[in-house]
Homo-oligomer: A and B are copies of this chain.
Amino acid sequence: MAASAPKIEARGGENRREALLDAAAAMFAAKGYDGTSIRDIAGAVGMLPGSLYYHFKSKEDLLIAVYRKGVARFEAAIDEALETTGGDPWQAIEAACAAHLSILLDGGDYARIVNPEFVRSFPGEMLPTLNAERDRYERHFEKLIAALPLPPETDRWLFKVALFGSLNWSQTWYRKGRYTPGDIAGAFIGMLRQKGA
């Protein structure tokens, strides 16, 4: 991104763009990409539809920007979680899962956009771009799983997708109150952790 001018944000410069991103994230999450119109988004921040095109060159461009911000939140959360965790691999992956869940469940609207099942409804040409972004994030978890003391017959790739499935599925049933992200992460890891190890 071009960031060479340090003063120009004096008047609603970057704020308006950010407001549009927030509104777009909220409405995409609520009604889907196709279900949300430029007029909806612009209207939510008190703008006319045409004015949005000053900040984003197309609706797809806006979506990509929202998506990037979503992935960045996940990455920041597990980076922070892993910094404060000791060497025990089970503890490390549980912390990463808890961080993942905290963004997924309480991280606002941006997190919803990142869900691959959500992404499937997007215009096809942008799919490779978005998936590459996501793959990079998942690699953090692959490393953590590689360090786990699992029974030798365990397929670690299947382990990853099983874990990811459990985690991401929580979006469909989670309601605030009953369980915290930490509870869920602990329970899931507990189920997957063989008693002998």
Contact = CB atoms under 8 A, between A and B. Distances in A.
Nearest to A194: B195
Contact of A35 (B121, B158, B194): B121
Interface string A39-67: 00000000000000000000000000000
Question: How many A residues touch the partner, as a band?
Answer: 35 or more
Contact of A158 (B32, B165, B188): B188
A8 interface: no
Interface class of chain A by DSSP: helix
A116 interface: yes
A32 B120 contact: yes
Nearest to A118: B117
Given A121-B32, A121-B35, A170 B165 contact: yes
Contact of A168 (B118, B165, B167, B196): B165
Nearest to A174: B161
Contacts of A164: 169
Contacts of A117: 115, 117-118, 171-172
B170 A161 contact: yes
A191 interface: yes
Contacts of A161: 166, 169-170, 173
12 contacts: A32-B121, A34-B34, A117-B118, A117-B171, A121-B121, A159-B191, A162-B187, A163-B166, A165-B165, A165-B166, A165-B168, A192-B192
